[in-house]
Amino acid sequence: MNENGITVRNKKIAVLPGDGIGPEIVREALKVLKAVEQVFGHRFDTGTYPVGGCAHDLCGSCLPEETLEACKCADAVLLGAVGGPKWDALPGEERPERALLGLRGGLGLFANLRPAKIWPSLKGASPLKPEIVSGGIDILVVRELTGGIYFGAHRRSADGKSACDEMVYSDSEVERIAKVAFECAKSRGKKVTSVDKANVLESSRLWRAIVGRVSKEYPDVVLDHMYVDNAAMQLVRDPARFDVLLTENMFGDILSDEASQITGSIGMLPSASLRLDGFGMYEPIHGSAPDIAGKNIANPLATILSVAMMLRSTFSLHREADAVEEAVSKVLDSGLRTSDLAAPGASIVGTAQMGDAVTEAVLKMVK
C-alpha cells in the first residue's frame, strides 16, 4: 500500500537490460522489486525489450521502434547500460549511445536527477581526505537533458578541416528545469547552486537570467551562481558546500561523473530522468563495463537504488523507497562489498550475492 493505503497494481515497467553488465545488474534490481511486491502487497507488470548494441545485432537498430513504443506505453522504464567496443566502428548515428538520446527525446525526459552521497559505512572509500568528507556528502545534480550542445546542430566543413556544434537553449527550457531544482531543494538543504559559463557563453547568460527570475518564486531557497570551472574545483575542495547543483546538459554530464567519483564508487550512483507528469526512466550512471560482463563482479547497488528512486518519484511509494535504501544501508553496514568497494576487513561478494543480500534485507522489513 502507498501512503494513502492504496495497493499499487497493474503498473507497467519497461525493462531494458542493454549491453555489458546491464543484464546482470538489472536482474538483481528486479529481485529487490519482487521483494517490495511481497512485503508491501503491490504488483508491477514488467516486460523486457532490447536496446543498445544488442538491439543493433538483433534487428539493425539500437533503439527499435517496438522498444520505444513499449516505453511510451509503460508507467516507468528501468534501464541497465548500453555500448561497448564491439560497436565502436558503427557510424555515429547508429552507435548504442544514441539510443539514450532517442529515449530521452522520444519520451520527453527533460530533467535528470543524479544524487551523489557518501553512505556512512563507505566514507573510507572516498578518494578525498577524511577531513573533507567527515561531515558527509549529499549532493543532488539536476541536469537539463534534452537541450544544449548535445541536441544542437552539428556541422563539419566539406574539406573536413573545421566543425561546429551549437549550444541552444530557450527561456522555457531553462525555466522548467530550474523549477525542478528549486522544488527538490525545498525538501533538502534549501540551496541551489546554478552552474554556467556566463562570462563567455551567451546561452549561459540567458540561463543565469532565467534561473534568477525563477528563484524569486522560492524565497526560502538560497540561490548562488557559479562558473562551471569553479564548480569542478569546489566539488573536490569542499563538496559539502553543495546541496542542489543545477546545470545545463553537457556541464551536468561532466560534473555528475565527477561527483560520483568523490563518493567512492560510480557503482553506487542511481539516476532518474523525468518529465512533468512523473513518468521516468531510471538507470545507474555507470556504463556497460564490458570488460567485467559475465564475471559476477559488477556492483548492482546503483541499479537497485534506481529502483528506489522509481518507487518514490513515479509511483509515490515513499515507504517502499525508504525500505530499499535502508536495506542497502544495512547490507553495507554488515561489511558486504563488491570488488569495486574492496576494503580491509570487508567481505567481498559477487553481483548476485549482493542482490540476494539486499533482497533478504527488504524481505525482513515490516510494513
How many domains does the chain divide into? Answer: 2
Could you confirm whether 356 is annotated as catalytic?
no
CB 41 within 8 A of CB 7: yes
Q: What is the pLDDT of residue 30?
A: 98
Residues 212 and 183 both lie in one domain: yes
- Please report whether residue 122 resides in a domain: no
Does residue 1 carry a pLDDT above 70? no
Q: Which of 256-260, 331-335, 353-357 has the lowest mean pLDDT?
A: 256-260
Could you confirm whether 12 is annotated as catalytic?
no
Does residue 8 carry a pLDDT above 80? no
Contacts 24+ apart (CB under 8 A), 216-223: 217/179, 217/182, 218/182, 218/185, 218/186, 220/186, 220/190, 221/182, 221/185, 221/186, 221/190, 221/191, 221/192, 222/190, 222/191, 222/192, 223/191, 223/192, 223/193, 223/194
Instruction: Tell me how far apart the alpha carbons of residues 196 and 235 are, in angstroms, rounded to a whole number.
Output: 15
Could you confirm whether 238 is annotated as catalytic?
no
Residues 228 and 277 both lie in one domain: no
More confident residue, 62 or 118: 62
Q: What is the pLDDT of residue 212?
A: 98
Instruction: Tell me how far apart the alpha carbons of residues 120 and 96 are, in angstroms, rounded to a whole number.
Output: 36
Could you confirm whether 150 is annotated as catalytic?
yes
Active-site residue, from 49, 253, 282, 330: 253
Residue 109, φ and ψ in degrees, nearest 5: -90, 100
Q: Which residues of 179-190 are buried (b: 16+ CB within 10 A; e: fewer)?
A: bbbbebbeeeee
Dihedral class, residue 345 (left if φ above 0, else alpha if ψ from -120 to 50, else beta): left
- Please report whether residue 249 resides in a domain: yes
Residues 89 and 200 both lie in one domain: no
CATH of the domain at 284: 3.40.718.10
Active-site residue, from 45, 57, 171, 229: 229
Residues 217 and 284 both lie in one domain: no
Q: What is the pLDDT of residue 289?
A: 94
Query: If pLDDT is split at 50, 70 and 90, which confidence band does 3 have?
Result: low
Q: What is the pLDDT of residue 211?
A: 98
Q: What is the pLDDT of residue 367?
A: 58
Residues 3 and 25 both lie in one domain: yes
Residues 161 and 240 both lie in one domain: yes
Residues 255 and 320 both lie in one domain: no
- Please report whether residue 280 resides in a domain: yes
Q: What is the pLDDT of residue 4?
A: 55
Tell me the β-bridge partners of 282: 78, 272
CA–CA distance from 78 to each of 62, 72, 303, 354 (Å)?
Answer: 16, 13, 9, 19
Mean pLDDT of 171-179: 97
Does residue 191 carry a pLDDT above 60? yes
- Please report whether residue 302 resides in a domain: yes
Q: Which of 228, 262, 296 is the last residue of a domain?
A: 262
Reading the block at residue 7, the C-alpha cell is 495497493
- Please report whether residue 239 resides in a domain: yes
Query: If pLDDT is split at 50, 70 and 90, which confidence band does 136 have?
Result: confident
Reading the block at residue 24, the C-alpha cell is 546482470
Residues 12 and 31 both lie in one domain: yes
Active-site residue, from 138, 257, 322, 356: 257
DSSP 60: S
Q: Which of 200, 231, 262 is the last residue of a domain?
A: 262
Query: If pLDDT is split at 50, 70 and 90, which confidence band does 111 have?
Result: very high
DSSP 5: S
Mean pLDDT of 224-244: 96
Residues 183 and 80 both lie in one domain: no
Residues 150 and 107 both lie in one domain: no
Q: What is the pLDDT of residue 6?
A: 61
Residues 256 and 284 both lie in one domain: no
Map residue 147 onto helix, strand or coil.
coil
Residues 85 and 200 both lie in one domain: no
Q: What is the pLDDT of residue 7?
A: 72
Could you confirm whether 197 is annotated as catalytic?
yes
Active-site residue, from 117, 138, 197, 322: 197
What residue numbers bound the domain in which 223 lies? 127-262
The residue behind cell 543524479 is 114
More confident residue, 202 or 2: 202
Query: If pLDDT is split at 50, 70 and 90, which confidence band does 323 have?
Result: very high
